[in-house]
């Protein structure tokens, strides 16, 4: 849910390329999520307020819990949270957890998350990199678009192929979403 929330912010900020990097390293006891976008970015004042749960730029509600909750969930595991943003250039958000910590939230269904993002944002390109110890799986919708020519990326048959690719790719690097 954190990834969906953060990426929603990225798309509302006009991002056309969003990178979602996940690293799981048992030996180093690290689980990290990094989201980088090329959206509008934040000015200094907005960046300072970004972790305030009573601040949001959204017009439909008066609180913004996404970033504060992500930060809190990382820090209670002994991890860390960083946010960097430059107006007109984009934003980078990173949450690092102790992999073995009992309070670390599970990743959840990353396949379903990616399919939801691609389906709902067909004009946005996504690069997802998932590293599990020494193995890495990468999905880049820019490469898929090159092969599709005039077929929309959110075409039902294309989405089935992307889903299968993600599931098989994650399984190959030892990620079991079951």
Query: Alpha-carbon distance 39 to 42, whole Å?
Result: 9
Yes or no: is domain 2-172 CATH 1.10.357.10?
no
> Which pTM was predicted?
0.90
Contact 87, 111 (CB under 8 A): no
Q: Return the domain boundaries, the chain.
A: 2-172
Closest CA to 37 of 16, 21, 57: 16
User: In the chain, where does DSSP find H-type helix?
Assistant: 2-12, 44-49, 66-75, 110-120, 141-148, 156-172
User: What is the pLDDT at residue 62?
Assistant: 41
Residue 83 has a pLDDT of 95
Residues with Cβ within 8 Å of 59's Cβ and at least 6 positions away in sequence, in order, are none
Distance CA 93, CA 41 (A): 11
* pLDDT of the chain, 178 residues: tens digit per residue: 789 989 988 999 999 999 999 999 999 999 999 999 999 998 888 777 777 666 555 554 444 457 888 999 999 999 999 999 999 999 999 999 999 999 998 888 999 999 999 999 999 999 999 999 999 999 999 999 999 988 999 999 999 999 999 999 999 999 987 5
């Amino acid at each position: 849910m954190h990834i969906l929330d953060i990426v929603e912010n990225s798309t509302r900020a006009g991002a056309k390329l969003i990178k979602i990097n996940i690293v799981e390293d048992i030996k180093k006891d690290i689980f990290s999520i990094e989201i980088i976008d090329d959206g509008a970015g934040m000015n200094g004042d907005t960046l300072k307020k970004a972790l305030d749960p009573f601040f949001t730029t959204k017009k439909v509600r008066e609180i913004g819990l996404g970033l504060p909750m992500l930060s809190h969930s990382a820090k209670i595991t002994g991890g860390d949270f960083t946010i960097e943003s430059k107006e007109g250039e984009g934003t980078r958000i990173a949450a690092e957890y102790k992999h073995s910590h009992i309070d670390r939230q599970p990743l959840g269904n990353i396949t379903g998350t990616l399919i939801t993002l691609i389906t709902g944002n067909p004009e946005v390109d996504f690069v997802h990199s998932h590293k599990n110890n020494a193995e890495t799986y990468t999905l880049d919708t820019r490469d898929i678009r090159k092969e599709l020519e005039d077929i929309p990326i959110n075409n039902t048959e294309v989405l089935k192929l992307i889903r299968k690719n993600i599931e098989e790719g994650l399984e190959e690097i030892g990620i079991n979403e079951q």
